[in-house]
């Protein structure tokens, strides 16, 4: 069989043909019940629901303090209206992206030319067999490098004086970020810096849809934790990105690789609290 059957065809494989593994059984049922477009859209909608909205709620309202502490002082923490503003604009960005995704999945768009792979349907492998563990590991490892390259250099461009005001300034309104400010930005920045560096590796590597779900979910969760501002063991990179919001021109990447290569990582001791006069874009663009 080349792909899932039509959703109007409710015939499922016989019990004897289904693997005994529960995960495989569940996935086989989904595979034979829904179309590739329905599977892709549903999975990509569930991902931010869990890794951005639910995780963001927990990190913003439910994480106990103490024992956990914030990187930046209480005097700089955003007010409740500012937290809700971040959530509202993040929702706007997600609605735009998923709206475009839904239109592309369910309405015909020519898939030729240099952008052919981006609009090829399905973009990911949607097969009944689950991906092998080894395949998942090497694809995620390669995707981490691709994402670092795409995000780091686009982020550096967004900090160019002529570009910053129109594209990236909105995101840096949060000198002290919160979880839901991870996607608080212009629609252009959201697509170029948040969506494409995660989407492109999945397409180029021809990931299984479940591998892509794991990959995209882990990166969304990383961004949510990175912006939450908590000084915890949950994610080592969180301090690095929080410092980027403080000091503005350091720590542009997602995992430190290109910051190390280009010498843009910060040299400030991890637990040092910066004074108000030392933080924010005013240090560079006033």
The tens digit of pLDDT for each residue in 119-176 reads: 555 689 999 999 999 999 999 999 999 999 999 999 999 999 899 999 999 999 999 9
Tell me how far CA of residue 45 lies from CA of 50, 54, 56, 217, in angstroms. 9, 13, 16, 11
Predicted TM-score of the model (pTM): 0.84
Q: Which residues have CB under 8 Å from 255's CB, separation 6+?
A: 144, 148, 237
How much is the pLDDT for 63? 83
The DSSP result for 78-119, as a single string, is PPHHHHHHHHHHHHHHHHHHHHHHHHHHHS-----STTHHHH
Q: Which residues of the chain have pLDDT under 50?
A: 1, 6-20, 277, 283, 286
**φ, ψ (nearest 5 deg) of residue 208:** -65, 145
How much is the pLDDT for 274? 61
How much is the pLDDT for 33? 95
Distance CA(234)–CA(218), nearest Å, equals 13
Distance CA(91)–CA(111), nearest Å, equals 29
Exposure string (b/e) for 154-175, b if CB count within 10 Å is 16 or more? bbbebbeeeebeebbbebbbbb
Q: Which residues have CB under 8 Å from 228's CB, separation 6+?
A: 56, 59, 60, 63, 177, 178, 179, 238
Distance CA(122)–CA(72), nearest Å, equals 44
How much is the pLDDT for 44? 93
| CA dihedral of residues 130, 134, 138, 143 (deg, nearest 10) | 20
């Amino acid at each position: 069989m080349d792909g899932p059957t039509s959703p109007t065809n409710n015939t499922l494989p016989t019990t004897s043909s289904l693997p005994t593994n529960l995960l495989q059984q569940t996935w086989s049922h989904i595979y034979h019940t829904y179309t590739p477009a329905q599977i892709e859209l549903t999975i990509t909608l569930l991902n931010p629901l869990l890794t951005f909205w639910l995780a963001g709620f927990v990190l913003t309202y439910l994480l106990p303090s103490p024992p956990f502490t914030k990187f930046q002082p209480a005097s700089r923490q955003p007010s409740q209206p500012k937290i809700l503003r971040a959530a509202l604009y993040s929702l706007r960005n997600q609605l735009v992206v998923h709206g475009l995704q839904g239109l592309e999945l369910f309405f015909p768009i020519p898939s030729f030319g240099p952008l052919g792979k981006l609009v090829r349907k399905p973009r990911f492998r949607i097969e009944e067999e689950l991906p092998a563990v080894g395949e998942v590991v090497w694809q995620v490892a390669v995707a981490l490098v691709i994402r670092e390259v795409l995000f780091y250099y686009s982020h550096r461009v967004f900090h160019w004086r002529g570009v910053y005001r129109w594209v990236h300034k909105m995101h840096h309104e949060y000198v002290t970020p919160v979880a839901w400010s991870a996607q608080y930005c212009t629609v252009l920045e959201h697509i170029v810096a948040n969506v494409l560096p995660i989407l492109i590796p999945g397409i180029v590597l021809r990931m299984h849809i479940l591998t892509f779900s794991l990959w995209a979910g882990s990166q969304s969760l990383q961004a949510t934790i990175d912006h939450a501002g908590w000084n915890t063991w949950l994610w080592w990179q969180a301090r690095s990105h929080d410092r980027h919001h403080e000091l503005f021109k350091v720590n542009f990447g997602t995992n430190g690789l290109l910051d190390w290569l280009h010498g843009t990582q910060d040299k400030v001791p991890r637990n040092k609290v910066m004074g108000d006069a030392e933080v924010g874009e005013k240090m560079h663009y006033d």
